[in-house]
Amino acid sequence: MTTTLITGASSGIGAELARQLAARGHDLALCARRTDRLEELRAEIVAAHPDRTVGIKALDVTDDEAVFRVFHEFDEELGGVDRVVVNAGLGKGAPIGVGGYAANRATAMTNFIGALAQCEAAMEIFRLRKRGHLVVISSMSAMRGMPKTVTTYAATKAGIAHLAEGIRVEMRGKPDLDITVSTIYPGYIRSEMNEKVEQRTKFMVDTETGVRGIVEAIEKGVESARVPAWPWKPLGTAMRHLPLGVVRKLT
């Protein structure tokens, strides 16, 4: 039985990950700031899968002390956490230099510093146990610098992708540790974060479809995956090499 810890699990991709992983037989450790949403999600999952164990805790990932405490509490209370999905994120943003620093800083602190704390806490647990699976949810926006309101968001997602890759490189040199590190690059998947722009965004897919691709990649233990595979696998390669003027039209 695999126990998977998911941050930012109260809505969107995180909540749907919980539903789909529970359907595949996973026990769950769910955390987010909104515990009322977590309570509803737990009730829904247990009603559909009475044999699942679903732990919930309040967590603001920008509270460093709370991240370490909650992760270790889950590990003790649930008999060990096997996988951690670093999913919690923020989508605020403004073009650089127009007075939107507060929004950009909030996104940077949540998406990068918060993710760093989660990776640290998860890897503490995995190193002690000598096994585990760290999953970092990045974004296709990490492929290149993005304009306007997405600039800081994209930079944070590129940062955590490199963070995950650095951990992965280290683990390759540790034959005594059975620790897998996966970086997932979702394309445009409908969620609360983007609900205001979904109607004018190219290649948007519904949450269930998009998360199904994420779950399949996680279960395979891949090093990295762009999801859904179409069009993001070929488009991601193109984005790395296309002129910036062309990349801008894709956003």
Residues known to be catalytic: 153
User: Can you list the alpha helix ranges (DSSP code H) found in the chain?
Assistant: 12-23, 35-48, 64-77, 101-108, 114-129, 151-172, 207-220, 229-241, 244-249
For residue 3, report the phi and psi dihedrals to the nearest 5 degrees: -105, 120
- Joined tokens for residue 29: 């450790």
Displacement of CA 102 from its chain's centroid (Å): 23
Cis status of the peptide bond prior to 231, with omega within 30 of 0: yes
* Count of all residues that appear for the chain in the document: 251
